Amino acid sequence: MDYNSQRKKLILPEYGRNIQIMIDHLATIEDRDERTRAARTIISVMGNLYPHLRDVPDFRHKLWDHLMIMSNFTLDIDSPYPLPDKAILEEKPERLPYSKHRIKYKHYGLLTEKLIEKIKETEDPEIKRVLTVLTANHMKKSFLTWNKDSVEDEQIYCDINTLYGGNIEMPEGMTLSHSKDLLQKTNKKPSNNNNNNRQQKNRKFNYKKH
């Protein structure tokens, strides 16, 4: 029995083995014009496999590129498009630079540090007050994401001062949101009860009519 695992590996498996066999047969056709005509026929068959892509720009260009790739760039034919460069296709992508930014408190995240930098740059006292309250509540919410137990506001004040690099001026009478409220906002999921109730009423109404 002939198993697929024992056959030649498909270069582009999405086209199937029969297409690969047709392309392999092209190399055995000696006449160049006949070989080109056969290639156009194979392109039509490949296009029929994905009819929903016929209106996509450059779809036929992509098919001709795939034809050359599946022939391992050995076909000598008249292509209506520039042939793909094997060296470019085999070129390894450049390494992505990883962020080297060191986050002091990872459970607060990089956003918290950016907010504190913004507080340092802000001169308007009202905007500075709003940013301070916003940052402190965000830190408390982030803390509770990792530790579901309640956290004291003094801990948040201490950490925000550490990140600030000094004693940040807290708004007079500032109180942070309760842990319970922050946890409810984090865990709250959109409810579909209203939609479900409406659908049930519609079904009952339609049933009575029939």
Q: Which amino acid is at 55?
A: D
Q: Which amino acid is at 22?
A: M
Q: Hey, which of 129-133, 143-147, 169-173, 181-185 has the most confident mean pLDDT?
A: 129-133
Give the per-residue pLDDT at 208. Answer: 46
pTM: 0.49
Spatial neighbors of 138 by CB under 8 A, at least 6 apart, are 111, 112, 115
How confident is the model over 139-163, as pLDDT tens digits?
888 888 877 677 788 888 898 888 8
Contact 134, 115 (CB under 8 A): yes
How confident is the model over 123-135, as pLDDT tens digits?
888 888 888 888 8
Q: Nearest-CA neighbor of 171 among 144, 121, 132?
A: 132
The Cα 68–Cα 27 span in angstroms is: 11
User: Within a 10 A sphere around the Cβ of 153, how many other Cβ atoms?
Assistant: 14
Contact 91, 107 (CB under 8 A): no
Contact 141, 186 (CB under 8 A): yes
User: What is the three-class DSSP state of 36?
Assistant: helix
